[in-house]
Amino acid sequence: MKPSSRDRLIIALDVGTRAEAISLALTLVPFAGWMKIGLQLFSAEGPDLVRAIRETGANVFLDLKLHDIPNTVARTVESVVGLDVQMLTVHLSGGGEMVRAAVAVAPEGLLLLGVTVLTSANSETLREIGMVEDVSRQVVRLAGIGADCGIGGVVAGAQEIGALRNAVGESLKLIVPGIRPRGSEEHDQKRIMTPAEAINAGADYLVVGRPITAAPEPAIAARKILQEIDSCVFRTDCH
């Protein structure tokens, strides 16, 4: 059974303060089952904000993109478990030993996600840091490391959904940022899709930030995206 459209929408709370984050969460929780807390907000407001967002009724996706020596990553995952978060990210570029250390201490209720290639990056970015493969191949390579290590899902750009599904089938959840409704500004995202396009391609969860949180009426913007997801989810020719 597929999750509801609301349960597939993740709001990126990329704001600077606790007050802004809680206000947005309370406004948007009727439309989205998940709120994403990233490094900026977590650094500013700390663990208490996670607990406050949970109190709104939303699940929490803590997007810290952990990348360190295996022991440090494992100990951090253990610390995060006490905050009652439901998703947590690690960078798959940290390698198999690091990922396995994180997986080993993650409880069943925590969906541990592997970050592949950031949606702000492109092939030129990879060449700059010495990688010769294109984005799609690098994403699939990293996802394979995650799958071999027992990761629960991967974060990847929408353009890589098809290649990932061919490589790993339905074994991993696909969490897709860089979602932009038609006509929205791209901002710093380089690999984007509309909500319907991403769902059609095979995404399990969509991460949407500024098109909702920076809209004049965030609830109206979220409702429109939810309707777009609904229009696809309940069609038999959609994934």
Task: Catalogue all structural domains in the chain, each as residue range(s) with its CATH number.
Answer: 5-233 (3.20.20.70)
Confirm whether 36 is a catalytic residue. no
Question: pLDDT tens-digit profile of 47-82?
Answer: 999 999 999 999 999 999 999 999 999 999 999 999
Confidence of residue 219 (pLDDT cuts 50, 70, 90): very high
Which tokens is 227 given? Answer: 């309707």
In this prediction, residues 127-147 reach a mean pLDDT of 87
| Helix extents (H) in 93-179 | 96-105, 123-128, 135-149, 161-168
pTM: 0.90
Return the percentage of the chain with pLDDT > 70, whole number.
91
Whether 105 shows a pLDDT value over 70: the answer reads yes
Question: What DSSP line would sit under 22-74, residue for residue?
Answer: HHHHHHHTTT-SEEEEEHHHHHHH-HHHHHHHHHTT-EEEEEEEE-S-HHHHH
Return the percentage of the chain with pLDDT > 90, whole number.
72
| Look-up of token digits 């098809």 | 162
Which tokens is 142 given? Answer: 């990293």
| SS3 category, 112 | strand
Confidence of residue 157 (pLDDT cuts 50, 70, 90): confident
Q: Which of 2, 36, 65, 190 is catalytic?
A: 65
Contact (Cβ atoms closer than 8 angstroms) between residue 57 and residue 29:
yes
